[in-house]
Amino acid sequence: MVIEVVPAPPQEAERQRQEAAPRAPRTGPPAPGLVSVLLALVMVLSVAALFFGTFLYGLSGLQEQRSQHQLYSAMRGLLSPSSPVAPWIGGDIPSGSPVALLTSPQAGLHDAVIVEGTSSGTLLAGPGHLPNTPLPGQAGAAVVLGKSATAGAPFGELARLQPGDVITVRTGQGRFRYIVRGRLVSGGRLPSVPSTSGFLLLGTSGGTAAPGGFTPSHVVYTYARLQGHAAPTPHGRPRTVPRQDRPGQGDPGARPFVALWLGLLLAGSAACWWLWSYWGLLRTWLVGAPVLFAVLWALSDEAIRLFPNVY
């Protein structure tokens, strides 16, 4: 018997050859699908949450140190006798302007620059002066707020101050010395003070320890009495302040920017996924990582403003 072998058609032969050949391993991103997209979304949000926690208790402190260094140079220049511009001592002071230097060794404060304004964003640069109160050294109760846990925690050690400790403040009107008298919870009443003297109230967050960290629940003030006579108080000070400047308030104006940067983070992550297929993982990482890092920083910088200004 003679068996005749009939060759397969060219298309069938090519298909059989492709099936028999070993397949190269997949090197690009996972094929788009519901599960892979959901996993990628969870990963992006998890990285954003981890970065935000790092920013809260680490990177924001570095940002505050840099701001304090720049503000201290500016304030020292204003206090110099040769400066053609005098420091702010009254009137409508622009938010973020340096107005005083605060020193309290027991609280770990050494020439800390006080800026005008107390919104959560303003306090990222350091302690802030509540605009509708007199400046330190002037008659009345001057209120200065600072963060207790984030942005370097400049007021994190206020609890160490005891009655009798000395606080010194330097402004454009001179150097003033305060003696700590005690503490007040928000809403408490100060002792009466003569019209020629004043108090300094340093406010920050108080609360309780929680499994995830410190939970702020109220504002606590350390108050100190001015020694000697108060400096004149210029006219033109604001009588009220916006809601976000009040003690213990966040800044709701940051919400649209949080939404914007979050959208850009998701869009940038999707773009990196797409580029992975064409450029490969290494090239995509080298190009995309700096961009995503910048977006994460901007997102965290806006999100922290939603927290209470004294936290």
Q: Are 214 and 207 spatial neighbours (Cβ–Cβ below 8 Å)?
A: yes
Q: Is the pLDDT of residue 243 over 70?
A: yes
Question: The tokens of 72 are what?
Answer: 């201290």
Q: What average pLDDT does this structure show over 175-182?
A: 96
Question: The tokens of 96 are what?
Answer: 């973020």
Q: pLDDT of 117-155, one tens digit each? A: 999 999 999 999 999 999 999 999 999 999 999 999 999
CA–CA distance, 232 with 134 (Å, rounded to integer): 10
Lowest mean pLDDT: which of 35-49, 204-218, 247-261?
204-218
Q: Enumerate the H helices of 55-106 as residue ranges.
A: 60-79
Residue spans per domain, the chain: 55-79+86-249
The whole-number pLDDT of residue 211 equals 45
More confident residue, 237 or 309: 309
What pTM was estimated for this model as a whole?
0.84
Q: pLDDT of 3-47, one tens digit each? A: 555 555 666 656 656 555 555 555 556 666 677 778 878 888 999
Highest mean predicted confidence (pLDDT) among 36-40, 219-223, 283-287:
219-223
Residues ≥6 apart with Cβ < 8 Å to 132: 237, 238, 239, 240, 241
CA–CA distance, 55 with 301 (Å, rounded to integer): 8
Q: Are 87 and 215 spatial neighbours (Cβ–Cβ below 8 Å)?
A: no
* Strand partners of residue 200: 142, 224
Q: Is the pLDDT of residue 188 over 90?
A: no
More confident residue, 181 or 21: 181
Residue 45, burial from CB neighbour count under 10 angstroms (0-12, 13-18, 19+) = middle
Kindly state the helix (H) or strand (E) to which residue 215 belongs, with its residue range: strand 213-226
Protein fold of 55-79+86-249: Sortase; Chain: A; (2.40.260)
CA–CA distance, 190 with 197 (Å, rounded to integer): 13
The whole-number pLDDT of residue 11 equals 62
The whole-number pLDDT of residue 123 equals 97
